[in-house]
Amino acid sequence: MYSLLKDIWTTYDAFDKDVENDTNRNKYISVCRYFIDPLNEEKEQHEKFCTKLIRNLGHYSDKPESYKFTPMKCNNLNNWAYNSMKKYSIPEKILTSCFDDYKFIVERRKQTPNCFYYEYDKTYKEPMKIIMLNIFESNIHIIKNILEGEIDSVHCSCQKFIENIVNIYKHMKNNYCSNDIVGINPKTCQQLTSFAGSYQYLYNYATIRDKIPSLEYEKHVNIHGCESDNSHQGRSHTEIHPKQKPVESPRAPQLNENNDSNNPISPTASTALGTVAGASSLLALLYKVNANIHLNMKTIIYNCFYTAIIH
């Protein structure tokens, strides 16, 4: 399972690789200058990103497999492109032009394009926070295994990650999906509902419930061994919440590989909880190239997941 995450890390290295030694470099530059010149903006960084995106879309390659995308590969590419856009202040027009060019060239070859641009900013309120919630959903089985394991640095970092995720959820729900405004932000609220269902799946495990916050009420969790980064043995917890009825052992979510190109983050828990490889790409992506997530959060993600991968 962790080897899949290592593959994802390699995928993002490949997306971000310079095109300097690519045989089609001059073609990429020519296409990108056609998109960039009319914008009358800073060109060097824009051109560097654009040539990478054109290369990654693959439609100027002689190999058909280069421009054929699985849902996972298209999702990975869109996440890389979106975060690069935010990090380097790339005009969105460059991204849409690249994807339009891909569609035009592929259709001219009598083929069907199967990767389209995801309009995160038009679809969700605070897209990066939605992506963070999706990180949780997409890696829930890894999180479950870590929380059921021994107390160590990975376990404690994972708890910190979950605390931050719960805070994000509550912020988003209060600001965009309270009862009186839920209809105004349907896609955002749909994703929050999906997250809540996924979180409940994890919370229903008796071995985990005492280790993570509740979405419904205030609950302080203190695992002995996680008070500092230098202490890693034993555990204890304190909590404030009403006594709950026993719950049945939850059924693991099932994989649904249906892909909606207009809604890249699945509206249902079953889809969002697909394979670990499916959206765990976001872990590598956010740690490596996203400048909008606070360093502490990136460190938590790295410690919780990638540390587990390489050991």
- Residue scoring higher pLDDT (290 or 223): 223
The tokens 């997306």 sit on which residue?
15
Residue 198: per-residue pLDDT: 93
Q: Cα separation of 87 and 68, whole Å? A: 27
What is the mean pLDDT of the segment spanning 196-212? 91
Q: Cα separation of 58 and 66, whole Å? A: 5
- Give, rounded to a whole angstrom, the gap between the first and last alpha carbons of the chain: 13
- Which candidate, 78, 37, 41, places its Cα nearest to that of 56? 78
Query: Hey, how many other C-beta atoms are within 10 angstroms of the C-beta on 193?
Result: 16
Sort 226 into a burial class: Cβ within 10 Å, 0-12 / 13-18 / 19+.
buried
Would you place residue 305 in the very low, low, confident or very high pLDDT band (cuts 50, 70, 90)?
A: low
Q: Cα separation of 273 and 282, whole Å? A: 14
What is the mean pLDDT of the segment spanning 14-28? 94
- Which candidate, 6, 77, 18, places its Cα nearest to that of 51? 18
- Which candidate, 210, 204, 215, 206, places its Cα nearest to that of 235? 210
Query: Phi, psi (5° rounding) for residue 242?
Result: -65, 150
What is the mean pLDDT of the segment spanning 213-231? 69
The residues, any chain, with a CB within 8 Å of residue 126's CB and separated by 6 or more, are 172, 188
Query: Which token pair is 15?
Result: 């997306």
Tell me which of 25-29, 70-74, 105-109 is least confident.
70-74
Residue 307: per-residue pLDDT: 52
DSSP-assigned letters across all residues of 269-311:
HHHHTS-HHHHHHHHHHHHHH-SSS-HHHHHHHIIIIIHHHH-
Residues of the chain with pLDDT > 70, as a percent, come to 67
Q: Cα separation of 122 and 124, whole Å? A: 6
User: Are 241 and 219 a contacting pair, CB within 8 Å?
Assistant: yes
- Residue scoring higher pLDDT (249 or 264): 264
Is 241 strand, coil or helix? coil
Tell me which of 112-116, 130-134, 303-307 is least confident.
303-307
- 295-299 long-range contacts (CB < 8 A, ≥24 apart) are 297/132, 297/161, 297/164, 299/157
Tell me which of 188-197, 275-284, 297-306 is least confident.
275-284
Query: Hey, how many other C-beta atoms are within 10 angstroms of the C-beta on 82?
Result: 24
- 200-204 long-range contacts (CB < 8 A, ≥24 apart) are 201/140, 201/250, 201/252, 201/253, 201/269, 201/273, 202/140, 202/143, 202/144, 202/147, 204/247, 204/248, 204/249, 204/250
- Residue scoring higher pLDDT (302 or 138): 138
Query: Hey, how many other C-beta atoms are within 10 angstroms of the C-beta on 252?
Result: 11
Would you place residue 1 in the very low, low, confident or very high pLDDT band (cuts 50, 70, 90)?
A: very low
Q: Cα separation of 90 and 45, whole Å? A: 8
Tell me which of 4-18, 178-192, 196-210, 295-309 is least confident.
295-309
Q: Cα separation of 138 and 161, whole Å? A: 14
